[in-house]
Amino acid sequence: MRITALAGGIGAARFLRGLLAELAARGAGADIGAGHEITVIGNTGDDITLFGLRVCPDLDTVMYTLGGGIHEEQGWGRDGETFAVKAELAAYGVEPQWFGLGDRDFATHIVRSQMLDLGYPLSQVTQALCARWQPGVRLIPMSNDPVETHVVVDDEQGRRAVHFQEWWVRMHAATPALSIVAIGAEDAKPAPGVLEAMAEADIVLFPPSNPVVSIGTILAVPGIRDAVAATMAPVVGVSPIIGGAPVRGMADACLSAIGVETSAAAVAEMYAGLLDGWLVDLSDAADAAMTRAADAAATGPVVRALPLLMSDLAATRAIAAAALDLADELRTDR
Ligand code: GDP
Ligand code: CA
């Protein structure tokens, strides 16, 4: 079974951990490598260069989470982290000070930057980093070409574009985004293996990731959206919106910026033409059913409702199981 998933950071990483646990429990995947091949296409629009180092927050969140090195409560960064380097940089007055890079995490960015400087593409660098973490999936960046999400804001400092990380981390997305632009996406090429993973997949999954700056950015790389639309595999998505709210984080601020309502149904509409199946939370069941009923051509995805809060591994496994079951059902339907 070849499973291909798109991935942002925390939402995707947690879901994928549940997926691996579920596959392992199903037996065929007792040795995941033997029974299943999971390819994860990671968002790189959040990437940023800090202190001369290339930081890839979403790739690292997936890698650390699946590799057992994540800071559990935080959901990003390393466990057992210390911040001596950050404090020393601050003592020199070096900016920015709003991005929390820990000492352990720094090592990852140093290795990555060294390899990039030597000319290795990001996909090979990611593979090298994963050789240590053994995430149990093949993690590929969406593109080897730099893509950076920027956000246009207008506040007391005037109208300007800031890096997504500055808007998200420093400004807590409190200043409304006038627009969100994935700079470089138009000219980016999918990384080697991305289109193949989509074409050759038996199942394609959209984990509950930010639909604008995670999944949306991956789909903005020319060729990827078409590959998802064209794949023979059933495409099943998990709503990142529960009861009209983004659960954790500030995804609603991203949706507002592009004029999309914060609802499971509205996110499904963003993925129109791509999704065959859509998992929504029980609290959104009526809403999502309405969308399907309203779709005269009945070409919308098959909607299933279940609890979607990834409160612990068991709950997350149940969500992954539902996604696999729905995909299976949709496959046999063909
Ligand atoms: P990020 O890059 O770290 O922001 O992570 P992602 O883009 O992968 O996912 C962030 C999104 O995950 C958030 O916008 C939430 O809507 C969603 N999310 C977080 N926790 C949960 C959860 O327990 N259940 C569901 N369904 N979605 C969640
Ligand atoms: Ca992210």
CB-ligand 1 contact for 149 (6 Å cutoff): no
Domain ranges of the chain: 2-145+187-333
Q: Which of 58, 248, 319 to mutate to test the pocket of ligand 1 (most atoms within 8 A of CB)?
A: 248
The mean pLDDT of the chain is: 94
What element of type H or E holds 7?
A: strand 2-7
Give the Cα separation of 28 and 26 in Å (integer).
Answer: 6
Q: What is the pLDDT of residue 32?
A: 44
Architecture of domain 2-145+187-333: 3-Layer(aba) Sandwich (3.40)
pLDDT at 30 (0 to 100): 47
pLDDT averaged per 10 residues, the chain (length 334): 97 98 79 73 98 98 98 96 97 95 98 98 98 98 98 95 96 95 98 98 98 98 98 98 91 94 95 97 83 62 96 98 96 76
> Could you read off the pLDDT of 78-108 as tens digits, one per residue?
999 999 999 999 999 999 999 999 999 999 9
For residue 86, give every residue at least 6 positions away whose Cβ sits within 8 Å of its Cβ, in sequence order, or none.
97, 100, 101, 102, 103
Q: How far is the CA of 248 from the centre of ligand 1 (A)?
A: 6
Q: What is the pLDDT of residue 139?
A: 98
Binding site membership of 214 for ligand 1 (Cβ less than 6 Å) = yes
Question: What does the pLDDT read at residue 28?
Answer: 59
Angle between helices 313-333 and 10-25 (to 10 degrees): 70
CB 38 within 8 A of CB 5: yes
The DSSP result for 107-162, as a single string, is HHHHHHHHHHHTT--HHHHHHHHHHHH--SSEEEESBSS--EEEEEEEETTEEEEE
Per-residue pLDDT of 271-280, as tens digits, reads: 999 999 999 9
* Ligand nearest to the backbone CA of 251: 1
Please report the atom of ligand 1 found closest to the CA of residue 7.
8
Expressed in angstroms and rounded, the spacing between residue 33 Cα and the centre of ligand 1 is 26
